[in-house]
Homo-oligomer: A and B are copies of this chain.
Amino acid sequence: MSQEQSSSGAVTARVVIVGAGFGGLATAKALAGSEVAVTLIDQHNYHLFVPLLYQVATAALSPADIAEPIRHILSGAPNVNVVMGRVTGIDQGARQVLLADGSGIAYDRLVIATGSTSTYFGHDAWAPHAASLKSLEEARTIRTRVLQAFERAERTQDPAERARLMTIVVVGGGPTGVEMAGSIAELAHHALARDFRHIDPTTARVILVEAGPRLLTAFPEALAAYALGSLERLGVSVMTGQAVQDIDAEGVTLAGRVVPAATVIWGAGVRASPAAGWLGVTPDRNGRIPVEPDLSVTGCPDVFALGDTALIRDAAGEPLPGLAQVAQQQGSHLGRALREALTQGKPLPSFTFQNRGNAAIVGRHAAIFDFGRGRRLKGFPAWLLWAAVHVVLLVDFAQRTRVSLQWLWRYLTYRRGARLITAPPAR
């Protein structure tokens, strides 16, 4: 504790943040300009605006529209050092974060904000056939597979193969699955409608499969029912109560029957990052690290965890959901708390989540918002609010202008500008 107690400026407390998602970035921003020496580590050089990743996967936006260089976001904060590197472990005895290049970064306080990854519930063999939506690379893979399947359908003489190529199955009825299914239906039924000569993209089948009894279980039933109706109007076939039994190169097996599909998208399972293993703490069954009300890791008072990788419960005892707004609020809270603790010796306050509304977008004019305690919004007003919120949340002004312009353009024309097949064909 010696380092941060020196207020002479000779020795500065060191805060290391692992992960530059919504939580880690908010922590760094709250510490920007303070006397704390901050190091922010991420395996990528950019902060990714994950809630719009499905728009990259469906050719509506370009990767650079939703990703901003971390260094650039923090260029005005001389006390924040950005490191692009992959963390392999933590040496709590030596208080060091270990990187894949063999180097170590010393900390006085450590913040774990490493997010979550997709899980195939033990069926890792499904992964090559069912891309998930967690990274730019995966978004580009999905975009390539969907567009390439239409290219092949245009060329094939075999009606069964053509039908398989023009079938897209989205697994998982949460917000990711709903957004993907709606957006792919719009891509096929509008943006691509006039571009082929031998196939009719408006006849493409988009199937949304959910194992549970209904879509969007995190939302009230009335909103979920509205989303279901909107998806069906877009031409999406929604199949609830259908557990996926197998996924391979041919398609998806449901109830013992193979549904032939060239493109399968996985939006079903999310699991916390493996950071609990770095700390030697016992995670919950989703891999999350249990934290105290001040976000410190139970049993490790100098280490903090937040966002998708942390397990913290609300007043009702329910775990906080894995949402950008949860991570962002936790990051801002923790950054301010560490700043005051390390420079003024204040105690760490408890974190309280303020629900600013949980949203899902189904398609043009159709979105749902749940603000809790019975306050809801749906349809065109919800869609407008969703669009406004997301434009404002995008980090950079230039991106804001660009994304607004593209959305306006797409809205007026149904066109999509980023329809490039660029990733190497995966199969």
Contacts and interface: CB of A to CB of B under 8 A. Distances in A.
Given A45-B147, A197-B78, A402-B406, A422 B136 contact: yes
A72 interface: yes
B406 A405 contact: no
A192 to B, nearest CB: 8
A126 interface: no
Contacts of A195: 69, 71-72, 75, 82
A154 B82 CA distance: 9
Interface in A10-53: 44-46
Given A69-B195, A396-B417, A155 B405 contact: no
A103 B103 CA distance: 54
Interface stretch (A58-66, A167-175, A217-225, A323-331): A58-66
Task: Please give the count of copies of this chain that the complex contains.
Answer: 2
Interface residues of A, number: 51
A232 interface: no
A187 to B, nearest CB: 12
Given A45-B151, A147-B45, A155-B101, A64 B418 contact: yes
A229 B137 CA distance: 41
A415 interface: yes
Nearest to A424: B137
Nearest to A423: B137
A85 B399 CA distance: 34
Given A78-B197, A103-B155, A45 B420 contact: yes
Given A63-B420, A155-B83, A398 B409 contact: yes
A406 B403 CA distance: 12
B405 A63 contact: no
Contacts of A402: 402, 405-406, 417
Contacts of A136: 420, 422
A311 B198 CA distance: 36
Contacts of A399: 417
Interface string A119-140: 0000000000000000011000
A239 interface: no
Interface string A90-130: 00000000000101000000000000000000000000000
B151 A84 contact: yes
- Interface hub of A85, A155, A396, A422 (most chain B Cβ within 10 A): A422
B72 A419 contact: yes
Contacts of A64: 62, 417-420
B69 A420 contact: yes
Top 5 A-B residue pairs of the complex, sorted by shortest distance between their CB atoms:
A71-B195, A64-B418, A62-B62, A62-B64, A84-B151
Given A68-B417, A72-B195, A405-B405, 20 more contacts: A45-B147, A45-B151, A45-B419, A45-B420, A45-B421, A46-B420, A46-B421, A71-B192, A71-B196, A72-B415, A78-B197, A82-B195, A84-B148, A84-B151, A84-B421, A85-B155, A398-B415, A402-B405, A402-B406, A402-B417
Interface of A: 44-46, 62-65, 67-69, 71-72, 75-76, 78, 81-85, 101, 103, 136-137, 147-148, 151, 154-155, 192, 194-198, 396, 398-399, 401-402, 405-406, 409, 413, 415, 417-422
